[in-house]
Structure 1
Amino acid sequence: MKRILFSVLLFVATFANALNIGDATPAFEIKDQFEKKHKIASDAKTILVAADKGTSEILRDYFLAKDAKFLTSNKAYYVADISGMPSLIAKFFALPKMKKYPFSVLLVDEEQTKSFTKKEENITIYTVKNGKISDIRYVKDAAGLDSVFK
């Protein structure tokens, strides 16, 4: 019984503040791996969210295989939730590695991460139209990402 109650509470906490269809894109600023502040533009088309190391690696490899301007030209944003990563690991290992990427990775903090829906071992894909979330789906691999950018 306690396990079921805990699962329900975890589910509610995960989705309580998360973006839903019809919501406006987040208005808060998000820093990238270079400490540069970004806002998701009102003309954004896609927001891709990686919530764990595995999904981050899939997105990284996918975007490294594309043109350096791929995200910009597709009006897409790559958001990584590293809030659970120990700060020393982030500072000395993850961020220096990310600084070698030719694209921005928006890094959400513990408060900002609540705005994004997560599903274990999946990349969350928000489709945006006219500054509002029009669809939310999940993909597991590069083939799924290809279907996003057709």
Structure 2
Amino acid sequence: MLTAEDENLVWERVETVLRPAFNWYDDVPGILAPAPSRTYTITTHYSPEGQAFFAELLRPTFCRMVPSGQRILVLDWQHPCYSVGPHLLVTDTHWPIPVLPDGDHYFFLDDSFRWGTYGHPGQQSLCIFGPLLPQVENELRDFPVLWESTK
């Protein structure tokens, strides 16, 4: 878990770099996501099966993108936040928060904020951005796209 001081520094950086709008129903995508980015509607996947699908897709991808021994930020707005080594979190029960939002705004970010995900509970959407997107977009081709940026 991040210390209160580290958490404050991370959220300041999130607000500066990604500029999230934490209203319940924002304009899509709800953040200023680095390109490429795509925001998918996940309304039909708000279920244990949907959580499992996205966890099985994204968590191994995080491991491929993060060198062993390095960490990603796992942020839950207005709740404890974490810096975790994805290689160490083998099962669902070891992850501090689920990939899909369940009432809170969730971020999974690399330290540079170049790639990651942003789950928006009000929109029931998941924004995937940066070099992470090409790694998973084929598996998400059947999901409705709410917003996209290629620049």
TM-score by length of 1: 0.28
TM-score by length of 2: 0.28
Bigger Cα Rg: 1
